[in-house]
Amino acid sequence: MVSALAGTTISTFLTAKSPEQSLEIVQRRPAREVRIGSVTIGGDHPIAVQSMTTTRTEDVDATLAEIHALEEAGVEIIRVAVPFEKSAEALPILKREMTVPLVADIHFDSRMAILALEAGVDKIRLNPGNISQRKRVERVVEMAKERAVPIRIGVNSGSVEKEFLEKHGSPTPQAMVDSALKHIGILEDMDFHDIVLSLKSTDTLAALRAYRLASERIPYPLHLGITEAGQPPYGQLKTAAGLGGLLLDGIGDTIRVSLTGDSTLEVKAGFDILKATGRRVLDPEVVACPSCGRIEIDLFPLVKEVEEYAKTLGQTPIRITVLGCPVNGPGEAREADIGVAGGRQIGFIYRRGVQVRKCPEAELLSALKEEVERFLEEERAAGAV
């Protein structure tokens, strides 16, 4: 299991080596592969985590500072707004100074898309519907095609065209998908297929349904997001509520968590949502019980120490479970790679679903560490690492 360090889907993660109890993870929807600079999305490629800068793009120093902070946080694709010529002029400098692919976010003005393409961006986000003349859109598509730069069609519930609002009465999921299909049609008419699609809404149910509808009809990769999710922690929770079901059902090829405030939190939240849904597990997961009146050991300090220890394991997708009593403890500890179930001032340790140790509470942490090391050694010996 620990072999999948590159971040591919880890289907065994949720099964925790107990086939008789296994929950097969739903296979990813096979979307067309689209290359965004050094990152490819779709197909079996890892679901990429992206973010967007909050600065005025023309303020190069501030934008670069934010880009570098996002890169430090592990972001894989960065988008910047390009509303003016001045912001477009900053793009070559940003591109030169950053390591992850750069996406230019364009609205209304096709000239900005042309400037962004000339600046060498790796993707543009564009709504053909809000560019006034088709021939202008076609010029952008021609240029993108020449440069093999993909285009994300970003439909937002707030900007669905009048014809679809009139047809559906409001920006329903179907109205959003119809709008997307119209835009996709413009690109496909020009034999352009490096398309990514997003269908964002502030309403989690509307977004969820729109993405589900699109996943049945549209072969292109889906960029998932709940737009303007708000401030942390509610913003992360709202996004997780909206995207969790999609990801569990195999839908989604790249995600952005739209938070108000520090954009680096978007990156952490993106990876955590992928981890929680089993879609991309890059580091250890510590599962711990909330404790209750049945608690038999001093759980909270132990969990804290286990979490600190887990951080030292780096990119190892191992699940460690710490439970406080013999009621649910043994059963749930068995489901983990390494599990601890508390008893009366003692603890039981499980490795791969088998009880391997019983020790006094004071020795639980060191015993757990030894079992984790043993587990990793076995994985290495099996060539899984």
Binding site for ligand SF4 (CB under 6 A): 289-292, 294-295, 323-325, 327-329
Q: Decide if 282 contacts 5 (C-beta within 8 A).
A: yes
Question: Helices 264-276 and 60-73 sit at what angle, rounded to 10 degrees?
Answer: 30
CA 86 to chain centre: 31
How far, in Å, CA of 39 to CA of 48, rounded? 8
Output b/e per residue, 60-96; b: 16+ Cβ within 10 A. Answer: beebbebbebbbebebbbbbbbbbeeebbebbeebbe
E strand or H helix at 41:
strand 39-41
Q: Which is nearer to ligand SF4, 42 or 329 (CB)?
A: 329
Q: How far is the CB of 368 from ligand SF4 (least distance, A)?
A: 16
Q: How far is the CB of 16 from ligand SF4 (least distance, A)?
A: 17
Please report where in the chains the tokens 């590159």 appear, as a residue: 6
Q: Which is nearer to ligand SF4, 267 or 322 (CB)?
A: 322
CB atoms within 10 A of CB 382: 11
Q: How far is the CB of 301 from ligand SF4 (least distance, A)?
A: 15
Q: Which is nearer to ligand SF4, 235 or 324 (CB)?
A: 324
Q: Which is nearer to ligand SF4, 8 or 291 (CB)?
A: 291
Q: How far is the CB of 285 from ligand SF4 (least distance, A)?
A: 17
**Residue 30 amino acid letter:** P
Q: How far is the CB of 297 from ligand SF4 (least distance, A)?
A: 9
Q: Which is nearer to ligand SF4, 190 or 292 (CB)?
A: 292
